[in-house]
Amino acid sequence: MKFQLKNTIVVLALTALFVSCSNDDDSSSVVEGTTGDVELYFDNGVAGDALILGNTYTNSNNESLTINRLNYIVSNFVLIKEDGTEFTYPKEESYFVISEEGDLLTVHLEGVPAGDYTKVKFGIGVDQQRYLQGESEQQSFWDLAVQHNLTWTWSTGYRFINFEGTYTSSAVEGEKTFQVHQGSNSATDNYREVTLILPTTARVREDEMPNIHLKTDANVILDGTNKIKLADNINEAQTGSAIMGGENLISIAENTLQMFTVDHVHNGSHTGHRE
């Protein structure tokens, strides 16, 4: 009798576990025609260390940079499923400022079709198609970019990256200022796009919002595939280095293709997630 009772309890427990697992599977299935949200969190760092404004970091160029500003524009988000199906976020809503000093670190995408996504693609900066639509078509984003020092004049357009601070180098005497303002100009289009593979599938559901945690490495701006020394760009007055045009910006644009990696994906509720 006791043996039968124990067997009955085991069967009931296994049945409950099976039903529970089945319910979990059912709740995570894709309901056609529904949408959800996706959040991307940009975690800024420098060569594996957290970026703390005012801290000093030494790169492989033997230059020590004290970083006071890192702001940049990300745009044109596309989510890609395993079978290659793409969802392109509406272009007029797909431009965002990431600012370490302004504590703008999150991109929130709404109305994404429910599905399982394995890649994310986005631009660094503002593409020429959008820019050439004119100021009136992008006034609200232009105003936001102005607030975060990510514009020149309208005729010269956006700064895609604003990277500033001070530095020391054995090649110059004393501490100097530096400014790296990456953008397009009349000679070159320095807008770039990156595609990143997600280590875990991002499940978009009505009641489930994936948070894609990206790592941004500011070090590669000057110390990536292309090595750019600030000391080689010092001004005539020997007060600082400013990189705002020429071949260096093309090299920096290529470096930024290695600037972003996906750390992890958290599939959870609509409360957001940062860790």
Q: Which of the pair, 272 or 64, is modelled with greater confidence? A: 64
Q: Is the pLDDT confidence value at 9 over 90?
A: no
Work out the pLDDT band at 153, boundaries 50, 70, 90: confident
* Structure-block tokens of residue 173: 């005497």
Provide the whole-model pTM.
0.88
DSSP helix/strand/coil, 59: coil
Question: Which residue bears the tokens 């894709």?
Answer: 30
* Structure-block tokens of residue 131: 């820019």
pLDDT tens profile 15-36: 444 333 333 333 468 898 899 9
Compute the average pLDDT of residues 219-235. Answer: 98
Residue 129: closest CA among 81, 52, 75: 75
pLDDT tens profile 40-61: 999 999 999 999 999 999 999 9
The mean of the pLDDT values for the chain is: 89
96 phi/psi in degrees, rounded to 5: -140, 145
Q: Is the pLDDT confidence value at 272 over 70?
A: no
Q: Is the pLDDT confidence value at 11 over 90?
A: no
Amino acid 58: pLDDT:
98
Q: Is the pLDDT confidence value at 275 over 60?
A: no
Q: Is the pLDDT confidence value at 100 over 70?
A: yes
Question: Which residue bears the tokens 């770039």?
Answer: 192
CA-CA distance, 150 to 137, in Å (whole number)?
A: 18
Amino acid 28: pLDDT:
65
Compute the average pLDDT of residues 84-89. Answer: 97
DSSP helix/strand/coil, 14: helix
Tell me if 184 sits within 8 A of 123, measured CB to CB: no
What is the Rg, in whole angstroms, of the alpha carbon atoms belonging to the chain?
24
**Residues linked to residue 35 through DSSP beta bridges, in sequence order:** 113
Amino acid 133: pLDDT:
87
* Structure-block tokens of residue 161: 């990256």
Tell me if 212 sits within 8 A of 250, measured CB to CB: no
